[in-house]
Each structure stands twice: as C-alpha cells, then as structure tokens.
Amino acid sequence: MSHPSIANQTDFVDVMEYANVVSDNVYGFGILIALFVIILLHLKMNGDDFPSCIAVSGFITSIAAVFLFLLGIVDSSHLFLCIFVAVIGIVWTFINNSS
C-alpha cells in the first residue's frame, strides 16, 4: 500500500490529513478521544459530578468534531458518536438532578 508523499503537504491541515490517511482514520479519532479525556479529568478533578463532566466533555468534543469533520479529518461516524456521548451525558445529568 503506497501513501502520498509528505513532501507534497504545504499547510497544517494537509499534514493532519496526511497523518489521518497514513493511520487509516485513527489520527482524527485519537485527537477527539484525547480531548474528551483531558476535559473529563480536568472537570472531575475540580469536584464536579460525573454525569455533568460527561455532558460537558461530550459537548466540547462534539464542537471539535464538527470542525474536524468540516476539515475532512474525522468521519461522520466519529462525529455522531461524539454527539451521542454528549446527549447521553445531558440526559444522565437531568435524571440525576430531577431526583
């Protein structure tokens, strides 16, 4: 399997697309996972409850996923997964706060 040459990449988005092609679309999803975990741990260390941490982390990661999707770095399945996690977190937060 031959990959495009790195020498043909001229800007940051081209380099990210190249890394995503070489890694079979794992690079973009890895960025989203890392962002989610960093935000989740930061919020949890500040003493927030876990469902709201999931909701906020999922929401911020969804925003990042939209930008990466528009740049062609993540697939639509990764975008929908981020949105799904955000919705699950929001519903979980509402369920915990209503009781």
pLDDT per position as a tens digit, 8-56: 667 877 778 888 778 888 888 999 999 999 999 999 999 989 999 999 9
CA 28 to the chain's CA centroid? 8
DSSP 30: H
Task: Return the percentage of the chain with pLDDT > 90, whole number.
Answer: 61
pLDDT per position as a tens digit, 58-99: 999 999 999 999 988 899 999 999 999 999 999 999 999 886
Spatial contact of 72 and 17, defined as CB atoms under 8 Å apart: yes
pLDDT of residue 89: 94
Spatial contact of 85 and 61, defined as CB atoms under 8 Å apart: yes
Contacts of 62 (CB under 8 A, 6+ apart): 79, 82, 83, 85, 86
Side-chain-facing half-sphere of 44: CA atoms under 13 Å: 12
Two structure tokens written together for 37: 């975990």
Two structure tokens written together for 52: 């709201």
